[in-house]
Amino acid sequence: MSVAGNLVMVHDQPAPDSPEPAPSSPRPGLRFLAPLVIVTASGPVSMQMILPALPAIGEHFSVGPAMTHMLVSLALIAFGSSMLVWGPLSDRYGRRLPLVGGTVLFAAGAGLCLVAPTIELLIAGRVLGAAGAAAGMVLTRAMVRDIYPSEQVSSAMSQLTAGQIVPPMLAPALGGWLTDRFGWHWNFVVLVVLGLLALVLAWRLPETNRMRAQGAASAGLLSSFSHLLRLPRFNSYALFGAAAMAAYFAFLAGAPDVAMEQMHMTPSGYGVAYIALSLSFLVGNMLSARLSPRLGMDRMILLGGGLTVASALAGVLVLLGISVAAGSPWLLFVTGSVIAFGNGMSLNNAQAGAMGVEPRMAGAAAGIAGFVQMVSGALATQSLGIIHNGTPYPLFLMMAAACVLSLAIFVGCQHLARRAA
């Protein structure tokens, strides 16, 4: 499962009045798409790669989880906030230069992390890099929409999405191996190299936006945000996704401490085990693609949300009832994998539902949905660091609370929407 696969929906939708590529546009193909895949993957890889290194970073700087979790939570806030900026900026000034600027920030952030003498500067580097990585996540999809004929956009987007899912799935395993063999600093050596490669590729890309200086005014965008947030049906989808992703980000930040400090896994072992979550999300996502046309979005959300609630509550009950389970990583990863599978079934439907409430505001809806997901993930991550007590209970209880809350929000807001109708 990856942050990228769920959250990066800003500017995804082909504009109904988008022109076909100009005759001077480069011919779409692998030479154009492959660099985009590498650029867009840099953000998710950086977010996931350092997770197995968090305990080692805390030990190096003599700080607790409340501090190391800021490497994730503040990066998420910077990432989500920047998503709302890069898209409109590229609508007005073109895609290429903002993309180059974003990759410069990403590489600079990784470089600052590599040489940071204090945890505060390390956090600053993570924030800087996350703000830059958001450009790659948003603008590469906009470039695909710009340059591909309408009948090829869906296929090209699928290939680009694979670049946002597969590399992050393997990133924790690489990060764990590097931490075990060479130390946590080597994670940032790799990220600096990746950032420089992304910068070279972004510099060589053509400008694809032929409609510059026609972006929506900020006042109109704020008006769209205000309108959507007053709609119970929109809130049912957006807030369901936010709460569901809070459960995932709680695992993302809390599982390394639980697995390595309390269940005695190695960083490389944790990285390999984490692949199960990504595979579970992919399977759930594929099942959703097959079942959603027949069952509908709302039923898929209820089905996936119900599965996450059952898994999270079962994990808490097993943890409370069988003391030996507290020392076993199997309980942690089985619970997390089933939650990831349920999220794979429900989250894409929630995102599609949010953008379908007011089709003329699909871009604004995607921006709000992605932003609240990142903010909720950051809150869950930081809260878990604060309540960390050296046992698995805070992590399991927070995942359960977030899963229950997601389903309760969806059912409650849908009820309000029906009453309003």
Q: Which tens digit of pLDDT belongs to each residue from 241-299?
A: 999 989 988 888 788 888 887 788 888 888 888 888 888 888 887 888 788 878 888 99
Instruction: Select the highest-mean-pLDDT range: 9-13, 74-78, 275-279, 359-363.
Output: 74-78
- Average pLDDT of the segment spanning 121-127: 96
Segment (H or E) for 325: none
Residue 200 has pLDDT above 60, yes or no: yes
CATH code, domain carrying 354: 1.20.1250.20
Q: Which of 208, 227, 262 is the last residue of a domain?
A: 208
- 396: which 2 tokens? 């399991």
Residue 370 Cα distances to 82, 238, 340, 363, angstroms = 11, 8, 18, 11
What per-residue confidence (pLDDT) applies to 216? Answer: 47
Q: Do 270 and 250 belong together in one domain?
A: yes
Mean per-residue pLDDT over the chain, rounded: 81
Q: Is residue 213 part of a domain?
A: no
- Is there a domain that residue 84 lies in? yes
Whether residues 159 and 297 share a domain: the answer is no
pLDDT, one tens digit per residue, over 85-116 is 887 777 777 888 989 999 999 999 999 999 99
d(CA 47, CA 49): 6
Evaluate whether residue 20 is within a structural domain: no
Average pLDDT over residues 53-66: 90
CA distance 402 to 409: 10
Distance of CA 317 to the CA centre of its chain: 29
Produce one character per residue of 387-397: b if its CB has 16 or more CB atoms within 10 Å, e if not: ebeeebebbbb
Amino acid at 24: S
pLDDT confidence bin for 119, thresholds 50/70/90 = very high
Rounded to two decimals, what is the model's pTM? 0.71
Is residue 108 domain-shared with residue 255, that is, in the same domain?
no
pLDDT, mean of residues 69-74: 88
What pLDDT, on a 0 to 100 scale, did the predictor assign at position 410?
95
Q: What is the pLDDT of residue 182?
A: 92
Domain count, the chain: 2
Which of the residue ranges 135-149, 280-294, 369-383, 407-421 would you say has the lowest mean pLDDT?
135-149
At which of 176, 208, 240 does a domain end?
208
The pLDDT of residue 101: 93
Residue range(s) defining the domain that contains residue 246: 219-421
What is the per-residue pLDDT for 369? 80
pLDDT value, residue 217? 47
Residues constituting the chain: 421
Asked if residue 160 and residue 37 are part of one domain, the reply reads yes
Tell me the percentage of the chain whose pLDDT exceeds 90.
Answer: 31
